[in-house]
């Protein structure tokens, strides 16, 4: 599903009106009806229930007025409260204001000094609130009067349904600079807005409903940006079929180069997760002094000993053995628990210039790279999966700068270095060199645990081995990994969740997506 900024959605609305002749009133009518339907879902039977609709002077208020009319027709008692002088309501919103008034319905003004008391009084006998105050054009901080009303609404204990976007939330960034509506559900129109998907906006959105308001699908496909919300439907479409006559060789071969003394668990997690995600054959290559340990720890995964320094870390001589084993592999995953010993750093730099299969670089493989410029020299598709700290170091900026504009930072790195960037964190971002961007909605705070990233590395590598193009493998891998974490948290809770729980839930996550 495409994700848009406020300006991009406005352009789609305008094109629908000008190029296809769909009147703005039709779009507003469709939007308001969808809001009314979600209210019905929340309340169940709406007859004789009390709904209070708060409107502003713009089109968002017009959507609220349409919803109010449909709810009234369904038998609800509807009160409409205006936070601006109704004389300032113009255009299509004014048409719906006139309809509301011709139906004999009142508009309560709360713009004056006693407005806050009117709000408190009406809310005493309200079952549900509809927020249609500010729409996607809002920027900055609400004024003091609106802020006080928002605080009263949030503190009322009544469920709030936001129209298109919660008032106080910036549609393009998800930033909140003052009081903001805390919605239980948000009904957004046409396509989801960035601010509803990104942190912290997602925390104010509640359950998100994407309402079809009749924007032509062809127009979306032609004009909307290549920025996507990863969904189960999208991942299902990408996952390769598993024919009944297939054998293990049909599902790809993964080589994982990982591990050092004290970090064998990282290698095990990456290898096992590649198998659990569906790869046919997985081999984990580790320093030879650790090989006997790995032979005991791993059962389904094969192992290969690599030359090491005698201290449980790889030596530069390991490079040729790795390249030999890559002759039988479809993808290389390198980095988990590998260490940043000088010998390892030298080995990785030499290895990257020689590899001819797709690579997934994580953890110590990224730590060994002094800057992203070295990635330009790699002659094969590469996926890097940094956390914000690693991304900051690779880009030569602060972690704060990374977190303030995750999409832009990931996209800039992907284009500059010609790699797929999987920027981990809340709302993981995947950016492709082509300019496509994917945002992952799955996952939870319980996954912030050691080894979780190693499981993700194996998952992405497995999907590449099975034939997915690297950017799709990274996006699908992030979704599957997050969903596995959600399933594990649903069973065990977030506190104490460990990487092995995520690993164990990978098959169930894939099954849920497919079925």
pLDDT (tens digit per residue) in 414-468 = 999 999 999 999 999 999 999 999 999 999 999 999 999 999 999 999 999 999 9
Alpha helices in 209-363 (DSSP H): 217-223, 232-238, 264-276, 291-297, 318-326, 342-352
Do 281 and 388 belong to one domain?
A: yes
Give the tokens for residue 208. 């998100």
Same-domain pairing of 289 and 198:
no
- Rounded to an integer, the average pLDDT of 296-314 is 95
Tell whether the model's pLDDT for residue 385 goes beyond 80. yes
Distance from first CA to last CA of the chain, Å, rounded? 19
Q: What pLDDT, on a 0 to 100 scale, did the predictor assign at position 371?
A: 78
Domain membership of residue 10 (yes or no) is no
pLDDT on residue 168 = 98
Check whether 9 has a pLDDT greater than 80. yes
CA 336, CA 144: separation in Å to the nearest integer?
Answer: 51
Both 48 and 196 in a single domain? yes
Find the mean pLDDT for residues 126-152.
96
Quick check: is 458 in a domain? yes
d(CA 407, CA 172): 11
- Tell me: do 141 and 280 sit in the same domain: no
| Mean pLDDT (the chain, rounded) | 96
Q: What is the tally of structural domains in the chain?
A: 2
pLDDT at 182 over 80: yes
Distance CA(320)–CA(326), nearest Å, equals: 10
Tell me whether residue 97 is in a domain. yes
The 10 Å Cβ neighbour count of residue 289 is 17
Where residue 443 falls (left for φ over 0; alpha for ψ -120 to 50; beta otherwise) is: left
Pair (87, 117) in one structural domain: yes
Q: Are residues 342 and 403 in the same domain?
A: yes
Does the pLDDT at position 78 exceed 90? yes
Task: Kindly state whether residues 66 and 174 are assigned to the same domain.
Answer: yes
CB 465 within 8 Å of CB 383 = no
Domain holding 286: CATH number? Answer: 3.40.1190.20
221 and 253 share one domain: no
Give a yes or no: residue 43 inside a domain: yes
Does residue 370 carry a pLDDT above 90? no
Q: What is the pLDDT of residue 77?
A: 98
Same domain, 257 and 388: yes
Does any domain span residue 493? yes
Same domain, 178 and 305: no
Q: Residue 353 corresponds to which tokens in the numbers above? A: 């210039």
Contact 13, 20 (CB under 8 A): no
Rounded to an integer, the average pLDDT of 473-487 is 98
* Token couple for 320: 């040729």
* 375 found inside a domain: yes
Distance, CA of 439 to CA of 476 (rounded, Å) = 10
Domain boundary among 225, 258, 273: 225
CB 12 within 8 A of CB 224: yes
Instruction: Please indicate, yes or no, if residue 4 is contained in any of the structural domains.
Output: no
Per-residue pLDDT tens for 189-244?
Answer: 999 999 999 999 999 999 999 999 999 999 999 999 999 999 999 999 999 999 88
Q: Write down which residue in 190, 225, 260 finishes a domain.
A: 225
pLDDT digits (tens, 9 = 90+) for 395-406: 999 999 999 999
- Using the predicted structure, report yes or no on whether residue 63 has a pLDDT greater than 90: yes
Query: What single-letter DSSP state applies at residue 124?
Result: T
Q: What is the pLDDT of residue 305?
A: 97
The confidence score (pLDDT) of residue 184 equals 98
Domain of 425 in residue numbering reads as: 233-238+246-514
The predicted structure's pLDDT at residue 368: 87
- One domain, residues 256 and 165: no
Report the distance separating Cα 505 and Cα 459, nearest Å: 12
The answer to whether 369 and 440 are in contact (CB under 8 A) is no
Tell whether the torsion through CA atoms of 31, 37, 38 and 43 is positive or negative: positive
Of the residues 163, 194, 225, the one at which a domain ends: 225
Indicate whether 36 pLDDT > 80.
Answer: yes
What is residue 113's predicted lDDT score, i.e. its pLDDT?
A: 74
Question: Is residue 7 included in any domain, yes or no?
Answer: no
Contact (CB, 8 A) for 63 and 95: no
Q: Do 258 and 186 share a structural domain?
A: no
pTM of the predicted model as reported, rounded to 2 decimal places:
0.93
Q: Residue 45's domain is classified under what CATH number? A: 3.40.50.10260
Q: Return the pLDDT at 472.
A: 98
Q: Contact at 8 Å (CB) between 287 and 343?
A: no
pLDDT over 90, % of the chain: 95
What 3-state DSSP class applies to 9? helix
């Amino acid at each position: 599903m495409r994700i848009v900024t406020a300006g991009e959605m406005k352009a789609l609305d305008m094109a629908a009106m000008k190029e296809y002749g769909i009147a703005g009133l039709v779009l507003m009518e469709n939007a308001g009806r969808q809001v009314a339907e979600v209210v019905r879902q929340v309340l169940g039977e709406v007859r004789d229930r009390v709904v209070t609709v708060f409107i502003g002077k713009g089109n968002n208020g017009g959507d609220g007025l349409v919803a109010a009319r449909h709810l009234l027709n369904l038998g609800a008692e509807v009160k409409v409260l205006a936070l601006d002088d109704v004389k300032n309501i113009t255009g299509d919103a004014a048409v719906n204001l006139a309809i509301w008034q011709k139906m004999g319905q009142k508009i309560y003004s709360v713009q004056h000094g006693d407005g806050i008391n009117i709000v408190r009084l009406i809310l005493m006998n309200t079952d549900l609130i509809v927020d249609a105050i500010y729409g996607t054009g809002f920027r900055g901080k609400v004024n003091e009067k609106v802020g006080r009303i928002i605080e009263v609404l949030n503190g009322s204990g009544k469920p709030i349904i936001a129209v298109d976007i919660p008032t106080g939330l910036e549609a393009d960034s998800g930033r909140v600079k003052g009081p903001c509506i805390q919605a239980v559900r948000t009904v957004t129109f046409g396509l989801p807005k960035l601010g509803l998907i990104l942190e912290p906006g997602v925390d104010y959105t509640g359950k998100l409903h994407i309402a079809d308001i009749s924007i032509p699908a062809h127009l979306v496909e032609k004009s909307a940006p290549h920025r996507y919300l990863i969904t189960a439907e999208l991942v299902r479409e990408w996952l390769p079929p598993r024919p009944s006559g297939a054998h293990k060789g049909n599902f790809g071969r993964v080589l994982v180069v990982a591990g050092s003394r004290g970090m064998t668990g990282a290698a095990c997690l990456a290898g096992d997760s590649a198998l659990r995600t569906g790869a046919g054959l997985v081999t984990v290559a580790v320093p030879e002094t650790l090989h006997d340990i790995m032979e005991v720890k791993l059962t389904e995964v094969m192992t290969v000993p690599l030359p090491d320094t005698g201290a449980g870390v790889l030596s530069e001589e390991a490079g040729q053995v790795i390249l030999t084993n890559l002759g039988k592999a479809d993808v290389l995953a390198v980095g988990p628990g590998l260490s940043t010993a000088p010998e390892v750093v030298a080995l990785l730099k030499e290895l990257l210039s020689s590899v001819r299969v797709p690579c997934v670089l994580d953890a110590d493989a990224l730590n060994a790279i002094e800057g992203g410029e070295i990635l330009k020299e790699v002659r094969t598709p590469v996926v890097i999966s940094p956390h914000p700290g690693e991304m900051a170091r690779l880009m030569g900026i602060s972690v704060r700068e990374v977190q303030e504009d995750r999409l832009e930072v990931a996209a800039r790195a992907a284009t500059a270095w010609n790699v797929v960037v999987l920027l981990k964190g809340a709302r993981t971002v995947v950016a492709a060199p082509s300019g496509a961007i994917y945002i992952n909605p799955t996952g939870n705070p319980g996954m912030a645990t050691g080894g979780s990233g190693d499981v993700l590395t194996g998952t992405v590598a497995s999907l590449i081995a099975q034939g997915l193009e690297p950017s799709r493998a990274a996006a699908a891998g992030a979704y599957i990994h997050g969903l596995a974490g959600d399933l594990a948290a649903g069973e065990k809770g977030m506190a104490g969740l460990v990487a092995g729980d995520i690993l164990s839930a990978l098959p169930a996550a894939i099954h849920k997506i497919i079925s």
